[in-house]
Structure 1
């Protein structure tokens, strides 16, 4: 599912001057790229690659410019929990390969942010939680390994709601990330750090994770492109488990082209993940077309269904206006847009939170201070477990674990968890029926724009309701 609300203009005039993006390099480097009318539009990845191979710049110069930008922006945004110590060394290795005339990967010189619940061998991987503070994984997640194999450079680990449980990044145990467009507002969550970093041009692209909307919603709030792939398209090996049947590693970038290229790099079957798909990975970038080469009605014949339930009461007028404008634009491009009704759409929210909380209760049971997680001294085993969890887990995580444990407990399993699974099947069928008559379905990503920091922190039900647009899709995305 793709989030592509209006991308911020390069001037970013609505945010403070010190947060304006790096323009000098991309303005010069893209000049030669724009001469090739067949190249995909608005791709920082391809622009950087061309600039490196033509010796217009070096990977080291790029890395230094982004480090300089981080020193200016990070005190205001708090997008990152860790910055790579090997950033300049990694850039120098790429420069040496180019000097020797060796082939370099598709992501050569590209600065990539990685959400801190995705394991990296050379930086801490905390999941935004005190229980894993200072933990360093002994391996890279498969998605990270594939980025490195294509010569991508990890710039750092981005902030998140603890273990991915939240919609604002305020549930991080370490810091609160701000929205680059308005520092008084949230960037969304749980991949808020990844979205804010791309939006503020602190990195070129980033990896996030999406369980119920955690890539799509912050992408919307921060005005970048966010993609949740189909479940199984990308290996989950090395992703800290929240809800195993819903978790997906996703991509964020400043353009559809960059997001598609990053997805192509990290996709594919992985022997370390039994749920990863064996289906062939298409070259997504080959499907991109320059706007100079398309006809006036490039989407002629495409049937688009606008989900009626996503435009009812409770959705801000500004959001309704934006989605209406998008539908009109699709019609101008040749699409046939009609409203479709999904009567079971509203059932997705309670079903999702029962299932996700139940799975998190099971997955997080391993963090007891003995097997995994930081340990608190105690004289008795049960006290060690409870004290380690009480000190290590934040209030949002504790609440979701309790909710999930309750839903799975004897006497309540049938009433909650089993019923939620039946609703999941019902929602999947309703979407399938709608897609039998339409090629794609569209909806807003959230019922409102980004809200003020602290506005919903003490009202979890209101915060959960903000996920209503995205959770249903998470219940049915399978490869």
Structure 2
């Protein structure tokens, strides 16, 4: 059998049903691996070992009795430390919140519990998910297992290192997709309103969403099935068309219309040679698999970056201004510097950004009427810090997924991004799954792990 730490969620479910491993054995193996590797990687800010083992024992009993709740029953999940788990601190990597203990589960966490998933603990993030890393923060920054010289969010780090098979994180300017891209795993920012944000510490009401992360496209689909749905207590939640997000994974790329946004990495950003070559390879491969590929043009990246920056800074300032005025010294320097930019924005700046956002949405929608999925850069270089190519779809709210596309000459993951129409995550996952099967990217693991 595959080493337990490299089991996918679907693989774990099969192993449970065949009694090859139990949820208790899997959780214990992961806890042992966390104890061995995480002191160097810092993917977790808190491991909730006792509660995880208790939940695993309960899941094992239910599964043995034939009371299987679904494909996530007994499967371990890591939760970013912007998301509430009842009884645990939600610190947001900030000294302001070290003693803030959540009184209730976030809506997404409640859904995971109902599905029988096992919560392993809270994962490292930049302060309030805004800016970092902060060398003087209350927790060490997470280290990319492909190269500890690089930082990444704890969700991406833990997935790449085999500390858990699934994770949930917030994406305000790439917070799901950036660590996924940097660490060679799969991260999906869903359509705006598809997954409830209730119980998630807010950063940007316009640009922020909650999304699934995993090592495979199929696992992302399984996790999204558990997370998606209308929440009447979240004013930003919508009633989406109900779909099985994994339903089209086996269809392959034949007949898909792929729009290639070449100017993102050739004109708006200058991607390194490995990234540019990977994008071309993905395009060629999908065309060989039967997709129709064409080049398309969106507004320049700078337009999205400026609008996203104004909206995120303005809305984050609205949330944080009472604390910034009363306790500015408790913020780390990167977060404080970003938040203070919001203090200098006026109502006119914000209104203008929202107006320009409507134009950007219209432009992207026009292109997506002609193609099914967009293919574009994720990061301009392996494990790079730039989120410029990720921000456009925070601004517009379209679903966007980053995933690996091979390794650079230096041995770091190279990533690409797929983007879909609103609430057509199934088609987006279909395209991503076709590339994953053709290239075998789900088999990439860092040698250090």
TM normalised by structure 1 equals 0.79
- Bigger Rg, which one: 1
Whole-Å separation in 2 of the counterparts to 1:137 and 1:65: 28
Q: 1:348 aligns with which of 304, 308, 323?
A: 304
Query: What residue number does 2:114 align with?
Result: 149
Which of 134, 142, 167 is the matching residue for 2:99?
134
Q: Is the 8 A contact 1:344 1:426 kept in 2?
A: no
- Higher alpha-carbon deviation: 119-128 or 146-155: 119-128
Q: Does 1:431 align with 2:431?
A: no
Gapped regions of structure 2 (runs ≥ 5): 399-421, 423-449
Structure 1 residue 430 displacement after superposition? 1.5
CA–CA distance in structure 2, aligned partners of residues 176 and 25 of structure 1: 26
Q: CA deviation at 1:232?
A: 0.3
Task: Please state how far the C-alpha of 1:170 moved relative to its aligned partner.
Answer: 6.5
- The equivalences for 1:174-185 within 5 A come to 174-185=139-150
Match of 2:313 in 1: 357
Shift of 1:353: 0.8
Range with bigger deviation, 428-437 or 166-175 = 166-175
Partner of 2:159: 198
Cα separation, 2, equivalents of 1:98 and 1:339: 49
Question: SS in structure 2 opposite 1:441?
Answer: strand
> Residues 144-293 of structure 1 correspond to what in structure 2 (within 5 A)?
144-166=109-131, 173-187=138-152, 192-289=153-250
Q: Which residue of 2 is the match for residue 306 of structure 1?
A: 260
User: 2:298 and 2:361 mapped to 1: Cα distance?
Assistant: 11
The partner residue of 1:72 within 20, 26, 36 is: 36
Q: Which residue of 1 aligns with 2:352?
A: 419
9, 19, 26: which one aligns with 1:62: 26
- SS of the equivalent of 2:162 reads coil
Separation (CA, whole Å) in 2 of partners of 1:53 and 1:148: 20
Assess if the C-alpha contact under 8 Å between 2:5 and 2:165 holds in 1. no
Q: Does residue 476 of the first structure (1) align with residue 382 of the second (2)?
A: no
Structural mapping, 1:84-123, within 5 Å: 84=48, 85-123=50-88
Matched with 2:288 is: 332
Alpha-carbon spacing, 1:171–1:165, altered in 2? closer, same or farther (3 Å): farther
Distance change >3 Å, CA 233–CA 154, structure 1 → 2:
same
* 2:4 and 2:29 in contact (8 A); partners too: no
Q: What 5-or-longer segments of structure 1 have no aligned partner?
A: 1-21, 28-42, 369-384, 452-462
**Cα drift, residue 366 of structure 1:** 4.8
- Compute the TM-score of the two structures, normalised by the length of structure 2: 0.84
Q: Distance in 2 between matches of 1:159 and 1:108?
A: 25
Residue of structure 2 in register with 1:467 after alignment: 387
Query: SS of the counterpart of 1:249?
Result: strand
Note the C-alpha offset of 1:339: 1.4
